[in-house]
Amino acid sequence: MAMNDSVNILNSAYLAVEYIDSFLPDNPLQQPFKNAWNYMLDNYTKFQIATWGSLLVHEVSYFLLCVPGFIFQFIPYMQKYKIQQDKPETWEKQWKCFKTLLFNHFFIQLPLICGTYYFTEYFNIPYGWEEMPRWYILVGQCFGCAVIEDAWHYFLHRLLHHKRIYKYIHKVHHEFVSPFGMQAEYAHPLETLILGAGFFIGIVVFCNHVVLLWAWVICRLMETIDVHSGYDVPLNPLHLVPFYAGARFHDFHHMNFIGNYASTFTWWDRLFGTDSQFIAYQEKEKKKQCITKK
């Protein structure tokens, strides 16, 4: 009975969004995107699209999304939004991070990406324009992937903090007490595999077109680079996402090496009480601000 009610609610929500979408003006970028997509299909094989296309989407998205945070360090005005103001970024740390990233991207992640074509073939995932899901379906699927990945990340990340395991794997990621955007994927190769596995679970559950692979890559990178940015910038559109954790939430984890284990949302930490120290810290900070204002 409860299952039927849930299905009915989802169907109603889908019909409501579809009805609203019918009144929206045509997207001016749709036709150019369609032309580019069909050009890609006509000139490249599925293997090339799945492999080199996925690599290109990942690399371009990753480093482009890192640019704002990288530029912030040179703008005095933005320093008031830096969470750990006493720990500025250094060229030495950023160069070390960049070299490790290149190794992880091309020797750990690229071999995994090479399996994308075989994954899409095994599950008969289409590439064509006609089968591409509407924007609201894609948004819903990405949100579903985020919920699944967040659960995986919480429990496995918390396990990696166990005193018998931490120093062998996860300690690498915590070399930077004050994180910066590019450091989001700075990790031990085993951590890249262990925590990265959560990324693929949602794909297995929801994927009905290759475009979801790329959309989910961009969404996941946008989130992880934001929470590692070290800056709590106002009017951040990601804060509109319900229960979104954000940079200040994850920055506390890097400062204290404990609590706030989830990647995207706050509900797992709230449920298990692993955000208690963060909440206490926030209350202290608020009291300090009130005293300062007086």
What is the number of structural domains in the chain?
Answer: 1
Which domain does 122 fall in, by range?
48-75+91-230
List, for residues 132-189, the tens digit of each pLDDT value.
998 889 999 999 999 999 999 999 999 999 999 999 999 999 999 999 999 999 999 9
205-215 b/e (C-beta count within 10 Å ≥ 16 → b): ebbbbbbbbbb
- Asked if residue 116 is part of any domain, the answer here is yes
Instruction: Tell whether 294 is covered by a domain.
Output: no
Under 8 Å between Cβ of 141 and 206: yes
Please state, in angstroms and rounded to a whole number, the distance separating the CA atoms of residues 203 and 198. 9
Q: What is the DSSP letter of 109?
A: I
What residues in the chain have per-residue pLDDT under 70? 1-24, 289-294
Asked whether residue 289 is assigned to any structural domain, the reply reads no
Long-range Cβ contacts of 114-121 (<8 Å, 24+ apart) = 114/51, 116/50, 116/51, 116/54, 116/213, 117/46, 117/47, 117/50, 117/51, 119/50, 119/203, 120/46, 120/50, 120/210, 121/46
Instruction: Report the SS3 class of residue 82.
Output: strand
Residue 207 lies in a domain: yes
8: burial class by Cβ within 10 Å (0-12, 13-18, 19+)? exposed
Q: What is the pLDDT of residue 25?
A: 73
In a domain, 263, yes or no: no
Interatomic CA distance for residues 217 and 46, integer angstroms? 18
pTM across the whole model: 0.90
Inside any domain, residue 84: no
pLDDT in tens, 110-132: 999 999 999 999 999 999 999 99
The overall average pLDDT reported for the chain is 90
104 belongs to a structural domain: yes
Closest CA to 207 of 123, 114, 264, 130: 123
In a domain, 26, yes or no: no
